[in-house]
Copies of this chain bind each other. A is one copy, B any other.
């Protein structure tokens, strides 16, 4: 399959399908119909069938999708059938919450290193990690070959941190800081500023 042929909007729904399939699996379901997935996700059944048909023939007429096999296939396509090491930068309240969050590992991610520039934080514990000095970030991340970074610093520091991550070879950044990042074309950024979705809802209130 040529990855570039799958529209990004379809790719962006795949993790949502995978999460729903993993929940279905936990509930003990072996098959699930596009209709039932639709009710669980608020995406139309036709859209689900169309999206998933791009990845092969998983659905059987009248029987629905085989939950485990389809989840395996999506994990392979999303490349989360392995566990990615992630570097966390910024160990304030949010950074601590991320370092201690138990929901990453079984979904393909592990925070492997945490950095801060505050001397009071360097050397302290964050989850199972010891916070490291940001001045050592480039070398440590390069040596470990880490490709994914999470930025949980204040907005004022985020662009500089992004530059450091890019320099160290990171190709995917999850940015919690409330600021747009400028990065080279071969680096992807996703944003998790909580105010943005809140403001998207107040428009309609």
Contacts and interface: CB of A to CB of B under 8 A. Distances in A.
A135 interface: no
A139 interface: no
Contact of A180 (B18, B42, B201): B42
Interface string A11-36: 11011101110010000000000000
Nearest to A43: B180
Interface stretch (A44-52, A65-73, A99-107, A116-124): A99-107
Nearest to A4: B204
Interface of A: 3, 11-12, 14-16, 18-20, 23, 39-42, 77-80, 84, 86, 92-94, 96-98, 100-101, 103-104, 107-109, 147-148, 150, 155, 171-172, 174, 178-180, 182, 188, 190-205
Contacts of A202: 78-80, 84, 108, 148, 172
Contact of A77 (B84, B188, B192, B203): B203
Contacts of A78: 199, 202-203
Given A3-B203, A16-B196, A97 B107 contact: no
A24 to B, nearest CB: 11
Which are the 3 A-B pairs with shortest beta-carbon distances?
A: A190-B197, A172-B201, A93-B97
A89 to B, nearest CB: 15
A34 to B, nearest CB: 15
Given A84-B202, A172-B198, A180 B41 contact: yes
B108 A11 contact: no
A13 to B, nearest CB: 9
Contact of A205 (B97, B147, B196, B201): B147
